[in-house]
Structure 1
Amino acid sequence: MRIKISICLLFSLLGMIHTFAQEKSISGTVKNSQGLPQQGVVVSLKGDSSRTTQTDAKGGYTILAKSTDILVFSSLGMATIERTVGEATTIDVVMSSSTAKATPTPSTTGEAVARTNVRGPSSIYGESKPLWVVDGIILDDGVELSPDALSSSDAKTLIASALGGLSSDDIDTFRVLKDASATSIYGPRAIAGVVVVNTRKGSKGTNSISYTNESTFRLIPSYNNFNIMNSQDQMDVFMEMMRRGNITYKEMGNRRHYGEIGRMYALLNTATPSGYGLANTNEAKEAFLRAAEMRNTDWFSRLFQTNILQSHSVSISTGTDKASYYASVGIINDPGWMRFSNYNRYTANINANYKLSKSVSFNLIANGSYRENKTPGSVDGVSGKVSSAFSLNPYSYALNASRTMDPEATYRYRFAPLNIFEEMENNYTNTHIGDIKIQGQLSWKISPKVTAVGLAAIRYQNISQELNQTERSNLARAYRAMDNVTMITNNTYLYEDPYDDFDVKRTVLPEGGIREKSESILNGKDFRGTIDYRDAFSGGIHKIQVLGGAETSDIYRNKDWNQNLGLLYELGDMSYFSYEAFKQMQENKTNYYTLTRTTTRNVAFFSNAMYSYKDKYIFNGTLRTDASNKFGASHYIRWMPTWNLALTWNISQEKFFPKLKPISALSFKGSFGMTPESPSVSNSLAKIIGERPWRSADRFQETALRISEAANHDLTYEKKEELNLGVQMGLFKNRINLALDWYTRNNYDLIGRVPSQGLNGTVIRSGNVAAMRSSGVDLSLQTKNLTIGDFSWVTTFVYARNDNKITKLYVEATIEDMVKGTGFSKEGYPVGSIFSIPFRGLNSEGLPTFADSNGNTTIDGLRLDQRDNLDFLKYSGTTRPTDVGSLGNLFKYKGISLNILLTYSFGNVLRLPASFKHSYINDSPTSPSDMVAMPKEFKNRWMQPGDENRTNIPAIASAYQLYAIPTLEYAYTAYNYSDVRIAKGDFIRLKEISLAYDFDKETLRDMKIKRLSFKLQGTNLFLLYADKKLNGADPEFSASSSFIPTPKQLTFSIRVGL
């Protein structure tokens, strides 16, 4: 209701706004972030390519414009800035370095974004992610941006979605800082880069209202994009299992899990008033299996939907000589891409600036958001994560459920009945997130050369999650599954008194369901004070700037979790529990509630100095030192120093530069600095925790203190030294613009494992004993290919490469550690390397063979827990792409613009899913048996002697082979981790096509509208290239399978400005 009232109030101001569209001369100066003039910046009118100018050597420009026009300031390597003319006649702009942009990823689960670094890893074991800074305040728990996300035409939509409390219209500018000279002012947390976001402010002398609507249509996933067998091929596998003795009537009826084959055997044994569920005749069984074979269930179409995601935002901007205001409200309504899900977000923001006197000004920013989200099954409502294994949520189920199964039928999972649609109605998570931030900044211009600034901010966030599994959910029924002796004996959810030898297993949940409730609260406080001195001498030949300041931050986190057994959902949420449920938890040493409280405090002092000589040579130096409470009261490790030195040579300012035709702009920059990073461990002092020691009987419960990590007084910060050399060049009056950076890093004092004598109770300790070197290039090339009248064609090519190598690291590893698809770190190899067992083909029986550590050929002679002689493992590649980038083409004709964006990634490898087993029909608690879909590779499996010469897909082991070779399990496990199960992660993707139309000012004049535009955008449309071994699967989703991939989607947007 409040939001509706706010929107009505904003629209009621329409009658108060009156603007004039007379042309006038606009002039100003464009400078960089160091206060130096920026030559060659293109200044144009948005939507009118016929009127363009460039800044001169002093950064000055002059252009004719109307009060309703929007000036666009653009330069290669700088963040594009837009400014509304309004009543102003002078518009000065400060531009900052930037990378390309990002892509929107609306998600029914909130803001799930795949993780990556800006310039590769900065630590071996620690997490490296960019630092987010919003309006000068560091955002805790920020997200990361994928490489292709930094290339789209609509970056602000993604950033607004990621930040939660902002809409895309609220964001004024953003930039991504990479090299140490740009990030050093933010200290150790900026070691992996910085994303700086500034929100909109009101403008002096202007009044405007804008409305934006985006409607997003998401396509239902297709089996063409996944490596999943159809029902015909799947049934062919089942029939072979029957022939080989893997599936028998006696076993299937009592299995923990079963799909279509198990259902057939269950129906044969199910009595009905008219006989049995399925007649025990060959004809009836063949008809049943034939129907399953031809069923080919499309789980995606049954579990996903094409509802329209709607986003609305309204903003108002106004200002006078004394004060200016910007305010906005926004709503996102998502009925859900996955069935049984929905998502709503409400945001409100205000940015107010007051000129209290000639020398004092005050800025107040407040924003708040509220998000409510319902997700089915095991989808995390905060992060958007899902399980890539068989799991009870729509996406995982569609990926893993056999297409032979009937959507209307009931199967068995954990000994309990399961129908996925009934399960989604009775197994769901409700998430509520409230977030509010208020900050104020007081600026005092003490003199024309000295300015003091004080900033304070507070933030409160509350995340409440409630997982409900009602009495009709599969898990609740599993607690009560006691149909026969076999089920009672093997059901791990039933309780048996360990002190009564004659006790009979029984349920601890006779009625009701299960509720899990967690609540996380964050309270944050930030304070910063700075003094800035600027001066110029000898008519501007010498310029200096000195900045000094200090900042502190306090973050308090409180997380409370509890579990309730026996909640009667259908009886008004009444509680009905058994004391034996608590007895079972006590005996299993599990908790029914937890409480976690943490406090993080940081303090820093920083300074920056800049000197410029004739705007040609610019020297910049930064020094900062940080401290935190991460290491307790330890005096062995406390302050973290950060420093950087940078030198820029603007050749464009040299007298000889006009002779360097066709070069129109040229500058070189070099920087070197050291940045520390807080290590992933914090045991400078001994870490002591409370626990409940194991006892043979629960009646002997007691508490204890234990040293979890012995003190390491030598512990210090991880460090990174970085040398960065860059060049920016414009050719042919900036029709061709090039920005190239080369960097090299020396990471040392990294955390690694080191053996000790064990005198303090720890044999393997963590310490600063590892090192790594890395290097790379960042390239951006923009060409204005064609400009004829109102038509223009611009191409932008972005390329980034990063190579790293661990130069020092001690590891004790097993085969399993080194062959896992998540990657392994080893000296002499990149971070996240994957090693593989050498595959030597199939034998005459279709069984896989391998090379062992002695060079011999073996079938079942390898154990994943082997620790010695591991040099025989083959290096397959790294999990991290080495080469990423994009290619974009923008075509404009008058108000029409067409943007086509390709993204690419090369250099990484993927471990294919571990789909091969010695027995596919078993009663393992974690293996859902014939419920699980198989990959397409099984169609090419070994089936008869001689097939070993045409395929490397092993045979389905017969019952006799399993009996003759009891250790055959080791052979199929080794096959899953062999070099034949490696695929390239390379891809080329048509990421985006968008068509937009901006109405010209003449058309809108009579309508009293300042701006009107329409845009149709297609995102994530086609995968143009990927390794054939993936069988159509998306390599990006395979590489980060814990997140739901961005769907193929179409977005129509309309923007109106009044």
Structure 2
Amino acid sequence: MEKKRRKKRLRDELTFRKVLIKMKRSLFLLMVSLLSVHSVAFSQTTKVSVNLTDTPLSEIFAELGKQARVVFLYDHKLIETKGKVSLKADNKELDKVLKEFLAPLKLTYVFEDSVVIIRKAEIKQPVKTVRLITGVVTDESGLPLPGVHVVIKGSQKGVATDLNGEFKIPVENGEKPVFVLSFIGMQTQELKVSEKDNYKVILTAQIQKFEDVVVTGYQTLSRERSAGSFSRVSGEEVSRKANLTGNILETLEGLTPGLSVNYGIGEDKFLIRGTTSINSSREPLIVVDGVVLEEGNIEELVNSNDVESVTFLKDATSASIWGARAANGVIVITTKSGNFADRRLRISYDGSFTYKGLPDFDYRGLMNSAQIIKSAVEIFDPVSYPWSSVSTKNGGALVYPHEMPLYMCANNQIDETERDRQLNALAVLDNRSQVEKYLMQPALFTKHTLSFSGASNIYSIYGSVGYEYNQDIERANTNKIMVNFKHNIQLKKWLKVDLTTNLSVQSKKIGIMPSYTNVNSILPYEMLADEQGDPLDHSHTVFYKDYQEELETKSLLDLSYVPLDDMKEGFNKSKSFNGRINLGIVANLAQGLKYEGRFQYQQNYSKSELFYSQNSSKVRIELARFTKPANPPTTTAPTYYLPTTGGLYTLSNIDGVNWTIRNQFNYDHVFGQDKSQVTAIAGMEIQSAFSSNNSSTRRGYDPQSQTYQAYDEKELETNGISGAVYSNFGTPRNTLKTKTFSQGETEKRFVSFYSNVAYTYDRKYTVNGSIRVDQSNLYGSDPSVQFKPIWSVGFAWNLKQESFMDQVDFLSRLNFRFSYGLGGNSPKPGKGGPYNLLESNTSSLFSGLGIGYAIMYPANDKIRWERTRTINGGIDVVAFNNRITLSLDVYHKLTTDLLATKPTDQTLGWESFYTNFGDMKNQGFEISLNTRNITTQDFSWGTTLTMTNNYNKVLKLNIDGKVTASKKVYFDYTEGYAGNSLFAYRWAGLSNEGNPQVYNADGEIISNYQDESLTEAAVKFVGVTQPKWYGALTNNFSYKGFDLSFMFVYNFGHKMRRDVNNFWYGRLTRNVSKKFLDRWREPGDEEFTDVPKYVAKSVENQTKSRNISFYEFADVNVLDASYVKLRDITLSYSLPKRLCNKLYTDKITLRAQASNLWLIAANNDGIDPEYHQYRSGLRGTKYGPSWSFGLTVNFK
């Protein structure tokens, strides 16, 4: 303890001594300083005079030291670097002389007593602070623009906007630089930086948006860096087009080259660059927000008002990344998002009403009542059809009202005067107004959408609620509600999450129509109600009167048929639900490297209910078919094998679940002094699409209690009953044809690995390539068809960036593109694959043996996807101060391994199987031309022309068996000819007996279709049903707040069959074409008509002495299907800004649109090709123009 005290005392003494020594030293220095102040001050103020030229510094310092009586100390190496200098001073203080003299030499000095120390001057760097300027760049529609160059004016310092159109540039605090923003196809713009740190810049298109942003679904990139063939349509163009279906694809007609929208009945409605398949999918793949949307759901899930943009991927380098389902092209739809740069809550309303009205009755070319009566009198033949045959029970033979007076007169029951009176009474009737009133309703469509968007620093949202009401002519009314929300969350600077949810609920009610569902077949004198509006009985259209009375007596059932009452006895309704969740995550892992994960879950469900009450004619007649009459004394009353109370109820359900999981890495890096840029993606994707359906039928159903009555379903379906009150004509037993229960399912599964890499040098040269491998349950299991990659390569040359193009002032863009690659098209599910596809069978043949199965499609372990190789070359030009914008693409597509159902040896157990069996090619070109014709402060006029040419040819079809002339006229696809070909007999006119004649291959006239000389070579190729040339011409005018546009669409170079008479023999029991009136009647008529004669019982057909198909499929009945149509004309008006402000709105726009106002068709038969079945020649239901009115309001 004592030792510790001594140590502490010693430490304290030492500390005190150190402090004392420091105090002594400080006191000494202070005294020295005070004593030397006078000498230092004296030395600094001493005046000197020197005049030295080209003298070393050492000598100058010596002279100054001598005069001021000071000593100069310096580093000789330091002053030697200064060389010889000059100094002139006249009686100046030394301090001032040194300051002025040493400063230019970057030297300084310090006085220490009488010593001047020369040192190197220290350059003090000012302390600078920086601030970060951020912003987002969009186009006029609010779409972010990636790849915009943002450069500080007067320097080389700058950045490019990212995929979200955002940029960040640090600047020195206090500085207010000017940023220059430039982008191909947009006006260069300057941004003056102020005190703000965040900016939103809207770039204006030089003529219109030049599709500079390409959204492929997997990535977003600048158009100038892609070698692919793309087209883009803005969401604004989509939403302002009116349609009656809500289908977005219909509104895209004429807006982009390559897309063909076909309205011909039975034709492929949407095609990109022609037909590339025979029996697999021919329509393009639909992608929404980066994920495939399964077939049939686009109308249910995507509101056209929510569309941001639509991008078309048409060649291999753009579409091959989508794998074995993209050979037909890809349509990528991007929906709207909230904008982080816009912090305001924005609310908008868009509504429209479209009226289509009733169809044009006259277009069908059917007879009126007077013509029906006249024709009935002319062909009445009581010898071929005696009263004894038409009034019997054979199949429930009918005698129509126009036939009854004829038979009664022939049987001397009435005279000719009474006959004519009754016929004339029918001839003056016209049921058109009643058909329109009771069986139809005007077609119309109305749509309303309320949307909103907003954002904060880390969160943005876009949402919408839409309502659609669709009313079609067949008394069907559809209500649909669509809800959409899209969230973007910036969790961290490096982590971003997006979530999109879509929901649609639809209900539909369809009127129960009369048993003759095709109103065009109703005889025109058949009135539905009397003058007082009371429903009329039409039992004569079901039974002959005496036979009906007999059936009612035996069955004790009322078998009358009153259409207007019958329509009330039941319901036909459906409900559907569609939902989609799309979740994405983007993480910045390192500079230029990102991870992107995406998951989509999609579910759809529909329920359809069809009910006929016990009072409906359908249920009463079916009950009569399964009723045995009383058989005294065994039975004194009829025996009913089906329930006598309750109705017929059919319930159908469809369930679908689709999901996609994707993991992807994105890399984007600029290096080599901003000369080189590499963009790459690599990932894997798993997809599944499962659909199931079932249908069940219950009899004796009560919708109130939701119960049904039991009956022996199996016995009636398999064995049936004999001796029924109302027997099926020609069969001994009546069996139930409607299965009590049926079920089916389909499933598609894909596992995919893919990558795409692009390299750009000096913004001039770009090379890109992609590869993808798809595995699927739709492919065969044989190793030879597994792991077949889909790939593409492309090259783009931005020629305008070359130095030798600097003097070419009239061009602002010139870009060449070339690509080559392989695409695919998967087999249809449920058609074939590595396993046998079976169908259960409940035939009586399997009674007691369990369930029987039949092979629908045999296994094919070598089935593979169709392969399409595409070569594409393109050029993009913007010229004459951006007044002309041109894109031209030339392409060649070769499709191999075409999929189709091929006939096979039936001894194998099946008639056909699904396999690869042919090759096909498509080639052509596309042009998109935009011109800015006039632009002034108040007025502008622009024109857009799209044009596509497509030539198609089937190169090979491995078809077994002999092709006859009669088969060939029905074929769509024939080796050596274009797909969708039409073949026809070579018409030789009518014989002097009124029968059709054709030429055989040797030019000989043939009338007997069994003639062996009528070979395949006897028919000729007459054209194709797909247009070879198609496109649109659009003009847009703008004057102050008014906008006027009109679009003509055109389709050229294709053919169609003429609609011909199709009533050749038998009794006149339905309405028929007026062309029946032009038929051959007597020898000599063949000189002015080609319509064959009518025969009562077609004896000639029965003896094979004539073939009506010679006429129906003759070349004389093939017409040019080309046409030009004024598709729409739209006028809109935006209210002045000052008025909008008073109404607390940003914008109010009123619009009106008329569609299909005018038609020029190449045919002279009055046929509108859009309401025609090209192959059969049947006319469809034609409508007149449709009228649409709309309102858009953007609230403040």
> TM-score, normalized by length of structure 1?
0.80
Deviates more, 1:342-351 or 1:229-238: 229-238
How far off is 1:245 after superposition?
6.1
Structure 1 Cα separation of the partners of residues 860 and 487 of structure 2 = 50
The correspondence of residues 347-426 of structure 1 with structure 2, limited to 5 A, is 347-377=482-512, 392-393=516-517, 396-397=518-519, 399-408=520-529, 409-411=536-538, 412-413=540-541, 415=543, 420-426=563-569
Match in the other structure for 1:146: none
From 326, 339, 342, give the equivalent of 2:477.
Answer: 342
Match in the other structure for 1:744: 892
Match in the other structure for 1:825: 973
C-alpha change, 1:363 and 1:976, in structure 2 (3 Å) is same
C-alpha change, 1:338 and 1:420, in structure 2 (3 Å) is farther
Structure 2 Cα separation of the partners of residues 646 and 664 of structure 1 = 23
How far off is 1:972 after superposition?
2.3
Match in the other structure for 1:876: 1022
C-alpha change, 1:328 and 1:955, in structure 2 (3 Å) is same
Amino acid at match of 1:583: L
Deviates more, 1:650-659 or 1:974-983: 974-983
How far off is 1:993 after superposition?
1.0
Match in the other structure for 2:953: 805
Q: Which blocks of at least 5 consecutive residues in structure 2 are unaligned?
A: 1-133, 152-160, 162-179, 193-197, 215-220, 251-260, 264-268, 530-535, 544-558, 630-634, 721-734
Structure 2 Cα separation of the partners of residues 259 and 212 of structure 1 = 57
Is 1:990 matched up with 2:1126?
A: yes
SS at match of 2:1018: coil
C-alpha change, 1:1038 and 1:69, in structure 2 (3 Å) is farther
Q: CA RMSD in A?
A: 4.3
How far off is 1:173 after superposition?
1.4
Amino acid at match of 1:443: V
Match in the other structure for 1:930: 1069
Match in the other structure for 2:712: 579
Is 1:62 matched up with 2:189?
A: yes
C-alpha change, 1:580 and 1:708, in structure 2 (3 Å) is closer
Percent identity, please.
23
Show CA shifts across 1:287-345 (max 9, x none).
Answer: 332233233432663333337533211111111111111111111133x2325321100
Match in the other structure for 1:20: none
Structure 1 Cα separation of the partners of residues 643 and 1117 of structure 2 = 44
Conserved? CA contact 2:903–2:911, under 8 Å: yes
Structure 2 Cα separation of the partners of residues 916 and 1043 of structure 1 = 15
Structure 2 Cα separation of the partners of residues 891 and 345 of structure 1 = 35
Match in the other structure for 1:274: none
Structure 2 Cα separation of the partners of residues 367 and 993 of structure 1 = 32
Structure 2 Cα separation of the partners of residues 672 and 618 of structure 1 = 14
Number of matched pairs: 944
Amino acid at match of 2:815: S
Conserved? CA contact 1:130–1:194, under 8 Å: yes
Structure 2 Cα separation of the partners of residues 69 and 1011 of structure 1 = 20
How far off is 1:881 after superposition?
1.9
Show CA shifts across 1:782-827 (max 9, x none).
Answer: 222222331111121111121111111133445554323xx52111
C-alpha change, 1:757 and 1:918, in structure 2 (3 Å) is closer
C-alpha change, 1:1045 and 1:222, in structure 2 (3 Å) is closer
C-alpha change, 1:1043 and 1:241, in structure 2 (3 Å) is closer
C-alpha change, 1:964 and 1:890, in structure 2 (3 Å) is closer
How far off is 1:951 after superposition?
1.1
How far off is 1:680 after superposition?
4.7
Show CA shifts across 1:602-653 (max 9, x none).
Answer: 1111111011111111111111111112247655533341111111111121
How far off is 1:127 after superposition?
2.2
SS at match of 1:124: coil
How far off is 1:477 after superposition?
4.1
Match in the other structure for 2:427: 293
Show CA shifts across 1:57-111 (max 9, x none).
Answer: 69773279999998764767844999xxxxxxxxx99899425666543249999
C-alpha change, 1:584 and 1:713, in structure 2 (3 Å) is closer
C-alpha change, 1:786 and 1:234, in structure 2 (3 Å) is farther
How far off is 1:468 after superposition?
2.4
Match in the other structure for 1:442: 585
Structure 1 Cα separation of the partners of residues 1105 and 455 of structure 2 = 74
How far off is 1:568 after superposition?
5.2
Structure 1 Cα separation of the partners of residues 246 and 1018 of structure 2 = 46
How far off is 1:573 after superposition?
6.0
How far off is 1:847 after superposition?
2.3
Match in the other structure for 1:122: 276
Is 1:192 matched up with 2:328?
A: yes
SS at match of 1:575: coil
Match in the other structure for 2:51: none
Show CA shifts across 1:664-696 (max 9, x none).
Answer: 321111100011222358655341525438556
Structure 2 Cα separation of the partners of residues 675 and 461 of structure 1 = 29
Conserved? CA contact 1:435–1:462, under 8 Å: yes
Match in the other structure for 1:1028: 1164
- Kindly indicate whether structure 1 or structure 2 has the higher relative contact order, using CA contacts under 8 Å at least 6 residues apart: 1
SS at match of 1:971: coil
Deviates more, 1:449-458 or 1:304-313: 304-313
Structure 1 Cα separation of the partners of residues 956 and 349 of structure 2 = 56
Conserved? CA contact 1:641–1:675, under 8 Å: no
C-alpha change, 1:343 and 1:550, in structure 2 (3 Å) is same
How far off is 1:420 after superposition?
4.8
Structure 1 Cα separation of the partners of residues 714 and 423 of structure 2 = 42
C-alpha change, 1:414 and 1:405, in structure 2 (3 Å) is closer
Structure 2 Cα separation of the partners of residues 392 and 917 of structure 1 = 18
How far off is 1:868 after superposition?
8.4
The correspondence of residues 77-476 of structure 1 with structure 2, limited to 5 A, is 78-79=210-211, 97-99=230-232, 103-107=241-245, 115-142=269-296, 162-204=298-340, 205-242=343-380, 249-253=387-391, 262-265=400-403, 280-298=414-432, 301-302=436-437, 303-306=439-442, 309-334=445-470, 336-338=471-473, 340-377=475-512, 392-393=516-517, 396-397=518-519, 399-408=520-529, 409-411=536-538, 412-413=540-541, 415=543, 420-426=563-569, 428-476=571-619
Structure 1 Cα separation of the partners of residues 223 and 916 of structure 2 = 42
Q: Which blocks of at least 5 consecutive residues in structure 1 are unaligned?
A: 1-24, 42-52, 83-91, 144-161, 271-277, 379-389, 482-490, 497-501, 922-928
Conserved? CA contact 2:185–2:209, under 8 Å: no
Is 1:1051 matched up with 2:1153?
A: no
How far off is 1:766 after superposition?
5.0
How far off is 1:1015 after superposition?
0.6
Conserved? CA contact 1:794–1:891, under 8 Å: yes
Amino acid at match of 1:129: E
Conserved? CA contact 2:594–2:666, under 8 Å: yes
From 666, 678, 682, give the equivalent of 1:548.
Answer: 682
Conserved? CA contact 2:352–2:1188, under 8 Å: yes
From 871, 876, 888, give the equivalent of 1:723.
Answer: 871
Amino acid at match of 1:105: N
Amino acid at match of 1:294: V
Structure 2 Cα separation of the partners of residues 261 and 758 of structure 1 = 44
Conserved? CA contact 1:644–1:673, under 8 Å: yes
Structure 2 Cα separation of the partners of residues 298 and 135 of structure 1 = 48
From 606, 611, 630, give the equivalent of 2:778.
Answer: 630
Structure 1 Cα separation of the partners of residues 947 and 374 of structure 2 = 46
Conserved? CA contact 1:678–1:718, under 8 Å: yes
C-alpha change, 1:109 and 1:743, in structure 2 (3 Å) is closer
Match in the other structure for 1:999: 1135
Structure 2 Cα separation of the partners of residues 137 and 1008 of structure 1 = 39
How far off is 1:586 after superposition?
5.4
Amino acid at match of 1:637: V
Amino acid at match of 1:447: A
Show CA shifts across 1:719-744 (max 9, x none).
Answer: 11100011111231121221111100
> TM-score, normalized by length of structure 2?
0.71
How far off is 1:907 after superposition?
2.4
Is 1:596 matched up with 2:744?
A: yes
Amino acid at match of 1:320: S
Match in the other structure for 2:836: 687
C-alpha change, 1:400 and 1:54, in structure 2 (3 Å) is farther
